[in-house]
Amino acid sequence: MDASQISTFVDHKWESEIVPQLVDYIRIPNKSPMFDADWVANGHMERAVELMEAWARAQTVAGMQLEVVRLEERTPLIFIDIPASGADVGEDCVLLYGHLDKQPEMTGWDEGLGPWEPVLKGDRLYGRGGADDGYAIFGSLAAIMALQAQGAPHARCVVLIEACEESGSYDLPAYVDHLADRIGKPSLVVCLDSGCGNYDQLWCTTSLRGMAGGNLTVKVLEEGVHSGDASGIVPSSFRIIRQLLSRIEDEATGRILIEDLHADIPAERRTQAAKVAEVLGTAVYDKFPFLPGMTPMDHDTTELVLNRTWRPALSVTGADGIPPLASAGNVLRPLTALKLSLRLPPTLDGKRAGELLQDILLRDPPNGAEVTLKLEKAATGWNAPALSPWLASAIEQASQEFFGQPAMYMGEGGSIPFMGMLGEKFPGAQFMITGVLGPHSNAHGPNEFLHIPMGKRVTSSVARVLTEHHAASLRGETTGVAVVPGGEQHGDHGCC
């Protein structure tokens, strides 16, 4: 494989086709079903599928077969099957994954920017979904086409683009089971839905946190009453919900108090976290838009990396029963409801975490208040299998070729439900989890952007890994002794 030819092909493809396609894609408000109950009637998801399908079908990819698979009462899925090129590697294949559904609008966008209004400023394409994760289908096919353009080999490739990842990928298991015979047994999974610590080198994700969360509601009255008349007699629903949260979290430090929601952090992950902290320094927290005078939760950057990737953390992401300030009268409200998002260590069982939450929050309600917890998510995280030598070498080579810097390995604080499911279904697979969500890119929030040069380099890096996978498959090395970057060797696909 000629790396300079790959860069030239990929750069041209991005500038001439991919960026314009992403501009059109950003304009489509195809929010994930959790955020758009009428997604079928609204038709936005279908528009997004049609845009990607039309572009993919127009590409010159040898032997490509594309189908939009539609299981009854489920979000659609784009399935692409591309036969191997070069020497025969039998049934070995690569699975490339992405999603096309989006998070909701969120407030706080800068003037001139908005979720559904694409804006190109220098190297940044602003708008919802370009980086998370609309570029995945374009980047995956561009990497394969770049190889084919110069006759470089690759194994059979299967591309899956789902439409409910932001809702927890609840439709995906049904599709993977439905398509099991057509997918085969991949020895490599490539996911382009993750983050990066900077835009200067290739970053690969070693772990993902799980999540448990839902709607916690405390009700104390049938209707609101005059606060002057009732306060001091009627317990405040806000105070009670505050009491309940204190069962979970230390309000002074943010530490989760339930020991069963913590997990042992492997030594290899601690070593990697220290390396990340050394490379990024204060960028570990400088990337967030802190107000003047605000400080992070710890001044030890290694501990901050571990907080973000291996320790549980609680966020309140929404509220109900609380009127806006402009219309808030002197009323003791009948209820307070909060949306809880509890991030979990990668190795913690999500279902068990959800059960613990319910048990702790619902037992012995203060003052006999009516307390309910409607769980929406209880997902287990993911800890990558140890990296095989061929993949470690391919990733390092790709980073040096296209970034001029060594590759970096880091856990991510978010969740990609697909990874845990694939790890169970394909225990022999290796994983390259990467992405373009770097400093200030602000996925899920206001001013989300795609860093275009990063997208190009990640695409080129995938091409290198695909052709090295083919070579390793020919040598019989797509399974074997695995090595953790910067760590010790482990047996086949051991959890590191």
The predicted pLDDT at position 490 comes to 34
The answer to whether 112 and 449 are in contact (CB under 8 A) is no
State yes or no: pLDDT of 178 exceeds 50: yes
Q: Which range among 96-110, 119-133, 480-494 shows the weakest confidence by mean pLDDT?
A: 480-494
Strands (E), 49-155: 65-69, 77-82, 93-99, 119-121, 124-126
The predicted pLDDT at position 444 comes to 94
The answer to whether 51 and 129 are in contact (CB under 8 A) is no
Domains and their CATH numbers in the chain: 3-208+382-490 (3.40.630.10), 210-264+311-379 (3.30.70.360), 277-309 (no CATH)
Find, among 267, 219, 216, the residue nearest to 246 by Cα: 216
Q: Mean pLDDT of all residues in the chain?
A: 94
Q: What is the mean pLDDT of residues 53-72?
A: 97
Read off the DSSP letter of residue 167: G
Q: Per residue in 207-224, pLDDT tens?
A: 999 999 999 999 999 999
State pTM to two decimals.
Answer: 0.86
The predicted pLDDT at position 233 comes to 98
State yes or no: pLDDT of 421 exceeds 90: no
pLDDT confidence band for 495 (50 / 70 / 90)? very low
Give CA angle at 93 (88, 96), nearest 5°.
140
Give CA angle at 434 (112, 286), nearest 5°.
55
Strands (E), 345-468: 370-379, 382-383, 408-412, 430-433, 449-451
The predicted pLDDT at position 339 comes to 97
The predicted pLDDT at position 129 comes to 97
Give CA angle at 302 (398, 124), nearest 5°.
50
Q: Per residue in 352-380, pLDDT tens?
A: 999 999 999 999 999 999 999 999 888 89
Q: Per residue in 372-419, pLDDT tens?
A: 999 988 889 999 999 999 999 999 999 999 999 999 999 999 888 778
The predicted pLDDT at position 137 comes to 98
Distance CA 496, CA 487 (A): 9
Q: What is the mean pLDDT of residues 21-28?
A: 98
Identify the helix (H) or strand (E) that includes residue 196.
none
Q: Per residue in 2-14, pLDDT tens?
A: 999 999 999 999 9
Distance CA 451, CA 13 (A): 16
Buried b (16+ CB within 10 A) or exposed e, 385-420: bbbbebbbebbebbbbbbbeeebbbbbbbbbbbbbb
Query: What percent of the chain has a predicted confidence (pLDDT) above 90?
Result: 90
State yes or no: pLDDT of 440 exceeds 60: yes
State yes or no: pLDDT of 244 exceeds 50: yes
State yes or no: pLDDT of 131 exceeds 60: yes
Beginning with the edge strand found earlier in the chain, give each strand of the sheet holding 210-219 in spatial order.
Answer: 313-320, 335-344, 210-219, 370-379
Distance CA 483, CA 470 (A): 19
Q: What is the mean pLDDT of residues 218-242?
A: 97
Read off the DSSP letter of residue 327: G
Pairing of strands 156-162, 77-82: antiparallel
Find, among 179, 143, 160, 156, the residue nearest to 83 by Cα: 156
The answer to whether 104 and 213 are in contact (CB under 8 A) is no
Query: What percent of the chain has a predicted confidence (pLDDT) above 70?
Result: 96
Q: Per residue in 335-344, pLDDT tens?
A: 999 999 999 9
Residue 480 or residue 326, greater confidence = 326
The predicted pLDDT at position 485 comes to 42
